[in-house]
Structure 1
Amino acid sequence: MTERTAHPARAAQAPRAATAPAPPAPGLQPVGRLRSDWPRTFADRLTAPLPGVRALARFAREGAVRPRPEGLRDIPLLPFEPGPLPPAGPDTLAVTWAGHASWVLRIGGLTVLTDPVWSRRIFGTPARLTPVGVRWEDLPRVDAVVISHNHFDHLDAPTLKRLPRHTPVFVPAGLGRWFARRRFTRVTELDWWEAAELDGVRFDFVPAHHWSKRTLLDTCRSLWGGWVLTDRSGRRVHFAGDTGYGHWFAEIGRRYPGIDLALLPIGAYDPRWWLSDVHTDPEEAVRAHQDLGARRMAPMHWATFVLSSEPVLEPLTRVRAAWEQAGLSRDDLWDLPVGGSRVLVP
């Protein structure tokens, strides 16, 4: 099951959840922490209910899961400009967009992959619209991986199989067993607002407005969320994973002031009645960036897989327009092509 066919839609009458009181900040957890006492379900963390019979019937009736033919005509115009990875030392903060939610993040001397998907296709969807922006053989040693949730376009077994099993992996609560079954030996499971540290880089797991499901029997059995990575000098990157818009962005910004770069999703949002609770549209992504108080934003989660019905190039044109309308500096919108890199100068 993929997000294209299984995403929950907002019930028409369901309001957004009110901001929850902030729990106390926990201490750091050791790398390689696995727990067996997670709750059976994390459904109480949902922002909105999963779709009911009426919503599913409407979705089946409308069948709006692909762009119209005119919305696919711009596939040749999707930005794809692979280049060499920038040199990176211990003080470098650099990002390279491999496509979708997959980034090569250089921070604090580490190379970190986010939601790595190097496969040509994922279960239930057509092949990639653009190739992977970084060849696997061109990657430096991967020092860590962060996973936002277990949907197939974010948790890709064939890609993860390429990694050495001693690679440190940071995952949401309840997902550690998936990695343990595949013989990964340094898996750290975290709940929202928990953190771990690896070689001076701090990994904080933070909330998102989303859900989890990989099989017919595991709905919300593992958690979902984003990550805030902080290096020794206090520079911060927020990787939002997959999320709708809502109150968590302001809370994340309050707890982690001075985010230097927010990696935010802008695609897979149409039809809104079906996807608004779990996927930000471009305008909402700009609002989320402002709620976070981040200095820069790099869009992601578009131009790679066909997961919804908006025209393939529309996310980019809309996020640029929303950015300009918000009066934000054009230099702070890092709208990279697939394969593109940017380096944050100290």
Structure 2
Amino acid sequence: MTQQPRSTTSTSTPTQDDDVAPAHASPPASPVPPLAEPRPPAERRVWPRTFHDRLTAPLPGLRAFARFAREGALRPGPEGLADIPRLPFAPGPLPRVDARTVAVTWAGHASWVVRIGGLTVLTDPVWSRRILGTPARVTPVGVAWSALPRVDAVVISHNHYDHLDASTLRRLPRDTPVFVPAGLGRWFHRRRFTRVTELDWWEAAELGGVRLDFVPAHHWSKRTLTDTCRSLWGGWVLTDSDGHRVYFAGDTGYGHWFSRIGRRYPGIDLALLPIGAYAPRWWLSDVHCDPEEAVRAARDVGARRMAPMHWGTFVLSAEPVLEPLTRVRAAWEKEGLPRDDLWDLPVGGSRILE
């Protein structure tokens, strides 16, 4: 989602070292802490009532909302929408993989089919044509639900409607393992999911030899009028038994977390990073990367490759619909990075990690 929460205070605390700090803070001088031991699966835990103290930027007050009301809508003008027919859409069959192959397929927005360590993992699955408060998709889903293999796990970055879609999740067997941010488990338990693992930042779980680490992001959470920041938000690092690593950033602004993630998880092979829903910048810069920032983030985490996402699916903000793609390509080239390492897939496109 594209709007931001109102500021408040809280008493929750981070789980490890000094990894909650302002977005502009310098990296800590202390050694990188060891990776956490995996938590027990489907563990029932007690969380703070709020996670407001995890926010890394001031949140908009009445002046910001008044300015937003004066200055405009979160939608491009007619010229910015004219390129919708040109948005890249090229669905194809899912690649054949074995237990030692890593492959990704972009279903659209932040929804990926990640094949890693012999598992099929869905990220923020949204197969619905429309989400609450947003016009219908401008590109269809890139992978038919019927074409999916058995889904071994789902990872959720946060609870905004364009990342947590009840209609899609109802299609899954209720014993599907689901990995979610702290505080979001009760949403799934109410819907009778039986294998729900909640994690705090820097915590991990394990499934079938694949490690799933929950890592910070510059974002927030809200789903109703009364639950602002009642659950956490973040990204996921998936690591198989051969050491292949895929980083799914979820929804995030640019800031200090990326370099810290890179230090804790060296050798990320592929970063799935958001590049859209960034205009106007004065309103969205704290919570959504623009394309140039996404390229910087890929470098900060030390990723060998980057695959853009969170654009070309739903019209959530004011930039022209094709602008994120043209800008991310230009930023990648400006950094002098190998063109083959920018996996700018069409919706429905796949790549295999060699």
How far residue 88 of structure 1 moved from its aligned partner, in angstroms, is 1.2
2:25 alignment partner in structure 1: 18
TM superposition outliers: structure 1 runs of 4+ over 6 Å? none
Question: Could you say which residue in structure 1 is the equivalent of 2:42?
Answer: 32
> In structure 2, what is the equivalent of residue 121 of structure 1?
130
Structure 1 vs Structure 2 CA RMSD: 1.4
Distance 1:8 1:307 in 2: 16
Quote the residue 1:327 is aligned against.
336
Q: Deviations over 1:35-60 (max 9, x none)?
A: 1x211110000011221000011111
Task: Check if 1:342 corresponds to 2:351.
Answer: yes
Q: Is the 8 A contact 1:266 1:280 kept in 2?
A: yes
1:100 aligns with: 109
Residue type of the alignment partner of 2:25: A
Residues 271-296 of structure 1, C-alpha deviations (whole Å, 9 max, x = no match): 00000000000000000000011000
- Aligned residue pairs, count: 337
CA contact (8 A) 1:244 1:277 kept: yes
Which residues of structure 2 form unaligned runs of 5+? 8-21
Partners of 2:207 and 2:165 lie apart in 1 by 23
What is the percentage of aligned positions where both structures have the same residue? 80
2:75 maps to 66
1:302 alignment partner in structure 2: 311
Shift of 1:7: 2.2
Structure 1: unaligned runs, 5 residues or longer: none
1:286-328 CA-to-partner distances (Å, cap 9, x unmatched) read 0000001100000000000010000000000000000000000
Shift of 1:64: 2.6
Q: How does 1:1-346 map to 2 (within 5 A)?
A: 3-4=1-2, 6-8=3-5, 16-19=23-26, 25-35=35-45, 37-345=46-354
Distance 1:39 1:17, change over 3 A: farther
Q: CA deviation at 1:16?
A: 3.5
One-letter amino acid of the counterpart of residue 29, structure 1: R
Given the two structures, how large is their TM-score scaled by the length of structure 2?
0.93
SS at match of 1:97: strand
- Amino acid across the alignment from 1:269: Y
Give the superposition deviation at 1:33: 1.8
Structure 1 residue 25: Cα displacement: 3.8
The one-letter code matched in structure 2 to 1:7 is Q
Report if aligned partners of 1:9, 1:277 keep a CA contact under 8 Å in 2: no
- Residue 130 of structure 2 aligns with an amino acid whose one-letter code is R
**Amino acid paired to 1:261:** L
Q: Is the 8 A contact 1:8 1:274 kept in 2?
A: no
2:274–2:309 contact (8 Å) kept in structure 1: yes
Q: Which residue of 1 aligns with 2:17?
A: none
Q: Which amino acid aligns with 1:137?
A: S
Q: Is the 8 A contact 1:17 1:48 kept in 2?
A: no
Once structures 1 and 2 are overlaid, which stretch shifts more, 75-84 or 53-62? 53-62
Residues 259 and 292 in structure 1, CA contact (< 8 A), matched pair in contact too: yes
